[in-house]
Amino acid sequence: MVQILDKMRSFNIFYAVLLLFATQLIFAQEQVKKEYYGKKFTVLEKPGRDGAVFENLSLKDSVQTQLVGEIKEVCQVKGCWMKVKINTDDEVFVRFKDYGFFVPTDASDKKVYMDGIAFLEEMSVDDQKHYAKDSGASQEEIDKIVEPKRILRYEAAGVLIEE
C-alpha cells in the first residue's frame, strides 16, 4: 500500500511541475517584449498620440514631451534616425540625442514610445537628399527633391520599442 501511495505522490508531483511549466510558458508568450534604447524613462499615462504638440510651435520653439507612434522607416545604414507616424496623418522625423544611440534597422512597423524634445525644422535640400539616400530611395526620387521642406522633428533622449 505504501508503495502505491509513493508512486501516486511521484505521479502527482510530476504532473504538478508539468502544469506549472506549461502555465509559465503560456504567460511568457502573452507578454509583450519591450526594449529601451538611450535613456530609460517612465512612460506617461497618456503620452502624445497626435500632432497637437506641433500646432502652436514656430521654427524657434521646442517642447519637452513624450510621443507614441508607429515606426514607419529607419535609417538602413546604422539606425541613426527614424520616421514615426503618430495617430494623425503626421509623420515625425526622429534623431537621437547627441548621436548617443541607434535603433535596430528592422524596427519598422513596431510601436514606439519616445521621450525628448519636439520642434519644427526647415530641412535643406541637401539634408533631404542625404536622408532619402540613407532610406534606400532611388536616384530618380532623390532628384525630385528641389526645395527646403518644413518638417515635424523630435530629438529623443530615449525610446522604448515594443517587439
* 114 three-state secondary structure: strand
Average pLDDT of the segment spanning 48-67: 83
Model confidence at 26, in pLDDT bands (50, 70, 90)?
A: low
In sequence order, the β-bridge partners of residue 73 are 83
Q: What span, in angstroms and rounded, lies between the C-alpha atoms of 52 and 89?
A: 12
How many C-alpha atoms does 103 have within 13 Å on its Cβ side? Answer: 33
Q: HSE, CB side, 13 Å, CA atoms: give it for residue 112.
A: 29
Q: Which CATH architecture has domain 34-162?
A: Beta Barrel (2.40)
pLDDT at position 33 is 85
- Residue 3 pLDDT exceeds 70: no
Return the domain boundaries, the chain: 1-31, 34-162
Given phi > 0 = left and psi -120 to 50 = alpha, else beta, which region is 141?
alpha
